[in-house]
Amino acid sequence: MSFARQTAAKEPTMPKLIMGMMRLFDYPELASPTALARWINERLDQGLDTFDHADIYGDGRCELLFGAALQADPALKKRVRVITKASIILPSHDSSPWRIKHYRGTGFHLRKGIDDALGRLKMEQIDTFLIHRPDPLADTEDMAHALEEAVSAGKIKRIGVSNFLPEQWRWLQANTTLPLLFQQSELSLLATEALFDGTHEAQLRDGLRWLAWSPLAAGRLLEGGIGRALADAQAVTGMSPTALAIAWIGRIPGAPIPVLGSMRPERIQEALSVEGEQLPRELWFSLLEAARGHEVA
């Protein structure tokens, strides 16, 4: 059995969408634990149980508020799955004279990142922990040992990477017996490089499920040529630009899972409306051409 098949066999069943928590504080109506708990319950009713965090989102405040919501409605804790990430140090947390944003790929930092996240989230176990960015100065064996300890201790269930290139995740995989199950990186009609440089095929070969951040390109899909193309496609298909953008990702082999940054119920519903839809190949390429501004070779 290939490594890809082995890891795929261990991958949990995933929802059609993952709820991204990075912009939580852009929604003041969700700024209280009870309001956020109500919003989480609404997502669970839609079959969405996975929520994506990182230690730098809101400088830790997003995880803190999410943890407070779980305390406000204790029944939620057994129903939600949390992804979180660490390895980026913001200037405000750099105690050196240089006060610079940098990466810290050390076992000590990952251990601390996991423990701090558990404390903020008020959880006993994190479903999936990702190394947020590859560190060119990383002690990979040391990081791998820290992750193995955390899994053995029951602090995390699964591991993966974020924004890694193939040889970067393969070097980590070579240093640990744990399977890497996920790679989180940017994917949208305006971020297609990984589909043409071999990265996507490497993910498929190595059994990493693609968690696609910024699937709606932060609203830029409504601008310029791609905006006009999506409007034309809407006139033909009846699908909104949001639905078309999500369906475009869903047509890609391996079924990348969008990590949706919008927390508006109507936008979430639009994204969910594409379940069972498959864009025609010709429409997929038409939208790609409009987004890139040139036809394929």
The catalytically annotated residue of 22, 36, 55, 57 is 57
Q: Which amino acid is at 50?
A: T
The burial class, CB within 10 Å (0-12 / 13-18 / 19+), for 125 is middle
The alpha helices in 46-82, defined as continuous H runs, are: 61-72
> Is 27 in the active site?
no
State how beta strands 209-213 and 102-103 pair: unpaired
C-alpha neighbours within 13 Å on the C-beta side of residue 104: 19
| Rounded Cα distance, 191 and 188, in Å | 5
Instruction: Report the candidate in 75, 78, 64 with the shortest Cα–Cα distance to residue 24.
Output: 64
| Rounded Cα distance, 166 and 4, in Å | 14
The burial class, CB within 10 Å (0-12 / 13-18 / 19+), for 8 is middle
The burial class, CB within 10 Å (0-12 / 13-18 / 19+), for 251 is middle
For helices 241-250 and 224-237, angle between their N-to-C axes, nearest 10 degrees: 90
Number of CB atoms found within 10 A of residue 254's CB = 14
Instruction: Report the candidate in 245, 272, 240, 215 with the shortest Cα–Cα distance to residue 48.
Output: 272
How far from chain centre, in Å, is Cα 179? 18
Q: Which residues are the active-site residues?
A: 57
